[in-house]
Chain A
């Protein structure tokens, strides 16, 4: 089944404790992206990647890191989480060079930073 898989789905952590949210897609998509969703603010892009070893900042990259060492994986790293990073995070992927720009979203990861 074609899908984008995120882990963990739910996480409660404390300020300053490094964490990684993994994202993996099995559709051989070149493009991958991370969004955060907050009430009243919609979906805001954190980072995106056009291909392996190519990453770019989105609108709200502060406090986050990403890497794209393999085509299928695009982990989101919070080196020193803070309470303002409490949010619902979505990973998404999309094929490049097709007639549609459809984003395929993962199920989301709800992160709480105390």
Chain B
């Protein structure tokens, strides 16, 4: 099945800096790549997603890039704020969103 690797496992940045989280996937047929944010003690929530026919997508301070040739995708957060501190999960799917395979997560800490 699909294998999703996520790096780094922990990331600490200062407020205002940028943060980048990278994921690789194994199955070239995967076509949907969402990112979820999980705050401490809360449920995961979708923050942005991208499909395989798009190379980049942006939503305010968050952007995701996809390189299908290299089979990797990345989450970029600019001008980080303390409320960005959370665990971020990338995922990949062969079926446009179903049977998602998640990475192991990145714990992001934004210090004031």
Contacts and interface: CB of A to CB of B under 8 A. Distances in A.
Interface stretch (B12-20, B44-52, B55-63, B70-78): B44-52
6 contacts: A33-B99, A48-B99, A100-B97, A101-B32, A105-B44, A106-B43
Interface residues of B, number: 25
Interface string B85-112: 0000101010011111111110000000
Interface of B: 1, 6, 9, 32, 34, 36, 42-46, 49, 89, 91, 93, 96-105
Contacts of A44: 102
Contact of B98 (A90, A101, A105, A108): A101
Given A90-B43, A94-B97, A101 B102 contact: no
A103 B45 CA distance: 8
A103 B104 contact: no
Contacts of B45: 105
Contact of B43 (A45, A101, A102, A108): A108
Interface string A34-72: 010000111111001010000010110000000000000
Interface of A: 31, 33, 35, 40-45, 48, 50, 56, 58-59, 90, 94, 96, 100-103, 105-108
A33 B95 CA distance: 14
B98 A50 contact: yes
Given A42-B105, A105-B45, A58 B99 contact: yes
A59 to B, nearest CB: 7
